[in-house]
Structure 1
Amino acid sequence: MIRALVVDDHTIFRSGLKRLLLDESDIRVTGEARCGSEALEALRLEPFDVVVLDINLEGRSGLDVLATIRREHPGAPVLMLSMYPEEQYALVAMRAGASGYVAKDAEPAELIAALRAVARGGTYLSMRIAPLIQDQLKGLDERPPHQRLSVREHQIMLMLLKGVPPADIGEEMMISTKTVSAHRTHILEKLGVSSTAELVLYAVRNGIIQ
């Protein structure tokens, strides 16, 4: 039996996934978490075969939670799930240590296949995105600027977009406020914007936030 921990801040989504998996004889949601702290506490208390982790969580982003999971539970398979298109975050998630990535609008059969593959120690990317990821890894990268940010820059960008102050970002990521400011400067330069307000406009135009 595959024991899944579902980490998503939407109760309706967690309930829907549980109902979906009731039809599968080999997968069960045995743990739920609304945020990163609840997910980490659950992982410390009981074993899971796969963690289904949303990128866009309240508070700490899923990428930040993934980094902590990798430190505390290096062997835990993590399937990243997001409303964002695969081409936007799949490579970032895989580089950060995810075992797979599935968009929330994927067909149920694809999500179930991804869960099984990741829980068994494999990796999962859809047939559509896998060739693009391989091209990106080879340096054939035609993605827009925000998709070329490093994992840490992505994490900080998401926090900035949520209005988290630099001091709080530094505390959350265990880096100095000065380092956060340096990352912010690099992010703005890479995206061709000059302020956080322009960053928000960029994010809206590119579907990073709604």
Structure 2
Amino acid sequence: MIKIILADDHELVRTGIRRILDDVSDFKVVAESKNGEDAVKHCRTDAPDIVLMDVNMPGMGGLEATKKIVRMSENTRVICLSMHTEHPIPTQVMQLGAFGFLTKDADPEEMIRAIYKVHSGQKYLPADIAESIAMRRITPESDNPFDSLSTRELNIAMRLTKGQKVPEIASELCINPKTVNSYRYRMFEKLGVSTDVELTHLALRHKLIDSNLL
């Protein structure tokens, strides 16, 4: 039996995924989480084999939660889910220690196949994303300025594009507001922007966020 935790802030998404997984006799969903904090807590208490982790969630996001879970338990493997497939998101989650990455529009058969593969100890990426990452290793030059950001800087950037303020980000990440501002100004310098509005426009141009969600 493969024990699974679902982590997504949208109940309808969790319900849809759970229906898919409940039809597989080898799978057992042991907990559901609506944010990264809950996912980390459930990993401590329920010892899952697999966590299906939404990258973008309120509070502790999927990136931070993945990093904590990977450090906390070598027996739990994370598969990250996102609507955004543009680099550097897939690369970042794999660098953090996730075992897999899936798009949220993946068909049920692909999700089931990914879970089996990751549970067996293999990494999983959709073919087109794997090819894109491989090509970037061959030709590392990139016109995407977000490639230059660290994981923490990218996390803060994504929160700023959602309209979150520095004190709120600091509270959710359990760091000092001055530290958030330090990351923010360093990130602005790397990206060549000077305001959160310019940051959001840049993220839109590089398809890191969806204009329909703004």
The TM-score with structure 2 as length reference comes to 0.87
- Counterpart CA distance in 2 for 1:136 and 1:149 is 16
| Partners of 2:23 and 2:105 in 1: CA distance | 19
- 1:92-116: per-residue Cα shift (whole Å, max 9, x none)? 1111111110111122211111111
The Cα RMSD (Å) is: 2.1
Alignment correspondent of 1:188 = 188
8 Å CA contact retained: 2:60, 2:173: no
Residue 111 in structure 1 maps to residue 92 in structure 2: no
CA distance in 1, matches of 2:86, 2:199: 21
Alpha-carbon separation, structure 1, partners of 2:124 and 2:143: 21
State the SS of the aligned residue for 1:101: strand
**CA deviation digits over 1:89-148, x for unaligned, max 9?**
110111111111011112221111111111222211112121321233456243511244
Taking the TM superposition and a 5 Å limit, the aligned residue runs for 1:80-91 are 80-85=80-85, 87-91=87-91
> Is the CA contact 1:61–1:158 (under 8 Å) kept in the aligned structure 2?
no
Q: Distance in 2 between matches of 1:22 and 1:166?
A: 40
| Conservation of the 8 A alpha-carbon contact between 1:82 and 1:104 | yes
Asked if structure 2 preserves the Cα contact closer than 8 Å seen for 1:61 and 1:159, the reply is no
Alpha-carbon distance in 2 for matches of 1:34, 1:159: 17
Which residue matches 1:49?
A: 49
Residue equivalent to 2:24 = 24
CA shift, 1:61, in A, is: 1.5
> Which ranges of 4 or more aligned residues in structure 1 deviate by more than 6 Å?
none
Moved more, 187-196 or 43-52: 187-196
Query: Equivalent pairs: percent with the same residue?
Result: 36
Alpha-carbon distance in structure 2 between the residues aligned to 1:151 and 1:84: 16
SS in structure 2 opposite 1:128? helix
Separation of aligned partners in 2, 1:161 and 1:138: 31
CA drift at 1:81: 0.4
Instruction: Tell me, in whole angstroms, the C-alpha distance in 2 between the residues paired with 1:72 and 1:185.
Output: 31
1:102 and 2:102 correspond? yes
Structure-1-length-normalised TM-score: 0.89
Counting only pairs closer than 5 Å after superposition, residues 1-210 of structure 1 correspond to structure 2 as: 1-85=1-85, 87-137=87-137, 140-142=140-142, 144-209=144-209, 210=211
The 2-side partners of 1:139 and 1:171 are apart by 39
Secondary structure in structure 1 of the residue aligned to 2:128: coil
Do 1:8 and 1:34's aligned partners in 2 also have CA atoms closer than 8 Å? yes
Q: How far apart are the structure 1 equivalents of 2:44 and 2:143?
A: 37
Q: What is the distance in 2 between the residues matched to 1:20 and 1:120?
A: 20
Q: How far 1:174 moved relative to its partner?
A: 4.8
* Structure 1: gaps spanning 5 or more residues: none
1:167 Cα deviation after fit: 4.1
